[in-house]
């Protein structure tokens, strides 16, 4: 499989009629790295994925892949660019009347001229990659939720995508199976060097899986950058979301009104609320399974992040330096960071 490709999104905005979903989203998915997109329910994370792959057309902005703007290119070019993507939808999107083998083989039969012998080899390779070899004759209804997710992933990989998108892969899975799926994503990235974007609500996934994290809230990208930036952030919405706390700007209907925020502020000042007081432990990032090589994306990411280190918040700097092996950090001394506001940040090189 080819190495992952950079995806550069600039000033992207999407609405459905008068309803604005998000505006001026700018971020860069670094080639071959794992990124996660967070946000409360209803903030348009899945809409963002569908826009990336060309299923929805944004009103403004650009999505640059291989020097081509996916938003403005013609239908033929868009069709070719879509072949770069593999997408795992929430439910796996399997055909209920087809067995697992035929589900995974379907894209190959539709979009290639491979012989059935060649298709068999590819299907078996991808089923083995996701741990499902030997279940080819089962129907989707005979599979567990976790197995259906892995089957959907096998099908998403058969056309050798450079970019793999996961739309809430943990939806409907218990914490143990979510952990197995996250490990599978890390191992997939290790073996393919594909660019990966995961949309999720799961806090443990956000804390352990990605190289980079972004968050959408109040119809904008709050920030996007190296994982340590968000995991050490003091920005109220980010802090509240990562702690799963009640107190903060996120409410049941996405955002709270000014009166409710004022009441919470008064309660905090008078010692009635301590819910957000505890610090969030910076957990170690998932590593490839034993027997696999080091992730090429992690190596590139370490060099890239050390190069932009002085531009990051001080707490993130310290977390990054602490996580890097001496061979990486010795050549990149920490310097005094540039002071920046938290809202809407897209950190350079991220």
Using H for helix, E for strand and C for coil, what is the string for 203-225? Answer: HHHHHHCCCEEEEEECCEEEEEE
Query: What pLDDT does residue 347 have?
Result: 63
Per-residue model confidence as pLDDT tens digits over 281-308: 788 899 999 999 999 999 999 999 999 9
In the structure encoding, which two tokens stand for residue 167, read together? 């739309």
**Helix or strand or coil: residue 114?**
coil
pTM, 2 dp: 0.85
d(CA 348, CA 305): 9
Side-chain-side CA neighbours of residue 51 (13 Å): 30
Crossing angle of helices 175-192 and 145-157, in 10° steps, is: 20
The rounded distance, in Å, linking the Cα atoms of 118 and 113 is 10
> For the sheet containing 34-38, what is the strand order?
85-88, 163-167, 195-199, 34-38, 212-217, 220-226, 345-346
Say how many CA atoms lie within 13 Å of 13 toward its Cβ.
10
Reading the block at residue 114, the tokens are 């491979």
Checking if the pLDDT of 263 tops 80, the result is no
pLDDT band at residue 253 under the 50/70/90 scheme:
low
> In a 3-state reduction of DSSP, which class is residue 29?
strand
Alpha helices in the chain (DSSP H): 45-52, 75-82, 100-111, 116-129, 145-157, 175-192, 203-208, 227-231, 236-243, 258-269, 296-307, 314-323, 326-329
The predicted-structure confidence for 308-320, as pLDDT tens digits, reads as follows 999 999 999 999 9
* Per-residue model confidence (pLDDT) at position 277: 41
- The pLDDT assigned to 165 comes to 95
Separation CA 171–CA 194 (nearest Å)? 22
Q: Where are the domains of the chain?
A: 7-84+161-231, 99-152, 245-274, 296-333
Query: Mean pLDDT, to the nearest integer, of 167-193?
Result: 90
CATH superfamily of 7-84+161-231: P-loop containing nucleotide triphosphate hydrolases (3.40.50.300)
- Tokens in use for 136? 């080819």
Q: Over the stretch 52-108, which tens digit does the pLDDT of each residue have?
A: 999 999 999 999 999 999 999 999 999 889 889 999 987 667 898 999 999 999 999
Report pLDDT for 255.
53
What is the SS3 assignment for 64?
A: strand
Per-residue model confidence as pLDDT tens digits over 330-341: 655 544 434 333
Model confidence at 173, pLDDT cuts 50, 70, 90, reads confident
Measured N-to-C along each axis, helices 100-111 and 116-129 cross at an angle, to the nearest 10 degrees, of: 130
Using only C-alpha atoms, what is the Rg of the chain?
21
Looking at residue 49, its pLDDT comes to 93
230 backbone dihedrals φ, ψ, rounded to 5°: -75, -35
In the numeric block, the tokens 């956000």 are attached to: 206
Give yes or no for residue 257 having a pLDDT over 90: no
Torsion angle, alpha carbons of 319, 245, 221, 30, to 10: 40
Q: Which value, to the nearest 10 degrees, does the dihedral of the CA atoms of residues 179, 183, 185, 186 take?
A: 140
User: What local confidence, expressed as pLDDT, does residue 341 receive?
Assistant: 37
**Category of 157 on φ-ψ map: left (φ > 0), alpha (ψ -120 to 50) or beta:** alpha
Contact 63, 52 (CB under 8 A): yes
Q: Which of 183, 188, 163 is closest to 173 using CA atoms? A: 183
């Amino acid at each position: 499989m080819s190495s992952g490709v950079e995806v550069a999104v600039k000033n992207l905005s999407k609405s459905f009629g008068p309803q604005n979903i998000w505006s001026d989203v700018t971020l860069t998915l670094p080639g071959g790295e794992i990124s996660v997109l967070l946000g409360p329910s209803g903030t348009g994370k899945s809409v963002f994925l569908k826009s990336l792959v060309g299923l929805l057309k944004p009103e403004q902005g650009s999505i640059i892949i291989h020097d081509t703007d996916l938003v403005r290119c013609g239908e033929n070019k868009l069709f070719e660019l879509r072949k770069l993507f593999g997408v795992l939808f929430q439910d796996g999107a399997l055909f209920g009347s087809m067995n697992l083998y035929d589900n995974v083989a379907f894209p190959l039969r539709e979009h290639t001229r491979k012989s059935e012998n060649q298709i068999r080899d590819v299907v078996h390779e991808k089923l083995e990659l996701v741990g499902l070899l030997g279940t080819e004759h089962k129907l989707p209804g005979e599979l567990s939720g976790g197995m259906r997710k892995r089957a959907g992933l096998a099908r998403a990989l058969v056309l050798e995508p450079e970019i793999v998108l996961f739309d809430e892969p943990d939806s409907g899975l218990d914490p143990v199976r979510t952990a197995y799926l996250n490990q599978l994503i890390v191992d997939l990235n290790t073996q393919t060097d594909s660019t990966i974007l995961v949309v999720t609500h799961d806090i443990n996934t956000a804390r352990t899986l990605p190289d980079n994290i972004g968050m959408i809230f109040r119809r904008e990208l709050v920030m996007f950058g190296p994982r340590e930036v968000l995991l050490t952030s003091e920005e109220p919405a980010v802090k509240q979301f990562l702690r799963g706390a009640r107190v903060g700007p996120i409410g049941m209907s996405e955002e709270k009104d000014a009166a409710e925020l004022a009441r919470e502020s008064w309660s905090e000042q008078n010692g009635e609320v301590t819910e957000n007081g505890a610090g969030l432990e910076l957990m170690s990032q998932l590593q490839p399974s034993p027997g696999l090589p080091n992730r090429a994306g992690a190596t590139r990411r370490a060099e890239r992040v050390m190069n932009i280190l002085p531009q990051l918040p001080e707490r993130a700097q310290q977390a990054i330096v602490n996580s890097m092996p001496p061979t990486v950090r010795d050549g990149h001394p920490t310097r005094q960071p540039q002071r920046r506001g938290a809202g809407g940040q897209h950190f350079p090189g991220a």
